[in-house]
Structure formats: C-alpha cells, structure tokens
Amino acid sequence: MQLKKNPKADLSKNSSLYFAIGLAVVLFISWRSIEWKTYEKTAFDYQALNVDDEDDEEVPITEQLKTPPPPPPPPPAPEVIEIVEDEEEVEETVIESTETDQEEIVEVEDIEVEEDFDDVDVPFAVIEDVPLFPGCERVAKSERRACFQDKINKHIRKNFRYPEIAQEMGIQGRVYVNFIISKDGTITNVRMRGPDKNLEKEAARIISKLPKMTPGKQRGIPVRVPFSIPITFRLN
C-alpha cells in the first residue's frame, strides 16, 4: 500500500518564494546597517543666548563743540587827504609851433647829386637807353630793343658754322652765351656754357665778330650792360 502526501503539507512547494523574501529582508537589513550614522556626544551643550537685552544699551550723546571762524579783518581806514593851499607859482612851459610863416622861409640852394655808375651793371631789360646796334640809330626809341635783338639774331645766322668734329660725333645742343657791352660799346667778358667745348668755341667765335655798338645809357650816363642769348646747334 503506497502512502499519499497531503498537498497542503508539502513544504517544498513555496520554497523559492520564501527564499526571495528572506533575501530581500537580509539585503534591507544590510543596507540600513551600512547607512546608519552615529554622532559622538561631546561634553559641551549649546544654549540659546538672548541678546535682545544687550542691544538696548543706551549710547551717551556727546556734544561737538564747533569753533566759530575768526572775524574778517576790519577794512583799512581811508587815507586822510590834506588840502594844502597852492601858494607857489608854477611856470607853464609854452610849446611853440614848429611851422614857419611864409616870411620866415629860408631859400635853399639846389643840391647837385653826383651819380656814379662806374661799377654798376644795368640789365638790358631795365636800362633807359639800350645799346644801339649799327643800323638801329634811326629806329624809334620804343622799338630799339626789338631792333637790337633782331640784329643779333641776323649776325648769328650769318656767321654760324657747325664744327666738323661735333658733326662727326653727333653732338648737338644749346650754348648759353653771356657778355657785357662796355661803356665804350665794345664786347667784353664773354662766357659760354654748353654741352661740348667745340660748340662753346664756335659760339665764342660768333660773338667775337660783333661790331662796336653805341653804349647804353642810364640817366644820360654810359653804363655797362650785360646781355645773354642762347645759340642752338642742331643736326638735320
């Protein structure tokens, strides 16, 4: 005969449930024991202090003594003006007029001013009477400057000769010539400035052939007159 167990009496039926509940309880106890905090008790106890009474301490009121500023100085006393009677007679200075009457006019003789133009060079552009090139004597005074320059240009064209050495070397340019028409009408102090010595020599030769002129005059006195002219050398 086989024995039959009562299903209610079977202890292994809910063992897994019991195991899970027990495991959860153990874990909860372990977590609480880990998180549990304790504080060390000290021998000092904190007591609340009532400081309201101390705040009501009355502060004594002290009076500040203000020193008044010093009074302003008194205004200066006005000077006493003493009136003194003028007993002394003062001589008045009479200023006489410096103007003279017609009766007192003193005749002054004419003073002759000597004009010395010995060392003065009067430029051709401002001289009163320009030097006269031969052939310009009968020209009006207002046209003598133009006549002089025209005669100079004709003289240069007539006596012009291009240096052969300068032609072979292809040298050309402009030579500036300065000279002075002296008091006796001769040509002096000839100076040249150009790109080549051969051209300068030719320019000096042309100027040396200028004829003697009537000297220029300033206030009727013969003076030295400087004059300058460019001579252009150009190869065709």
The 8-class DSSP code of residue 225 comes to: E
pLDDT (average), residues 134-160: 91
Quote the radius of gyration of the chain (alpha carbons, Å).
Answer: 68
Close Cβ partners of 88 (under 8 Å, ≥ 6 residues apart): none
**Model confidence band, residue 67 (pLDDT cutoffs 50, 70, 90):** confident
The architecture in CATH of the region 141-233 reads: 2-Layer Sandwich (3.30)
Note if the pTM is more than 0.85.
no
- The domain ranges of the chain are 141-233
**Model confidence band, residue 44 (pLDDT cutoffs 50, 70, 90):** very low
Average pLDDT, the chain: 77
pLDDT tens for each residue of 78-128? 666 666 565 555 555 544 545 555 554 445 455 454 455 556 789 988 999
Total residues belonging to the chain: 236
pLDDT tens for each residue of 209-219? 999 999 999 99
Sign of CA dihedral 210, 213, 219, 223: positive
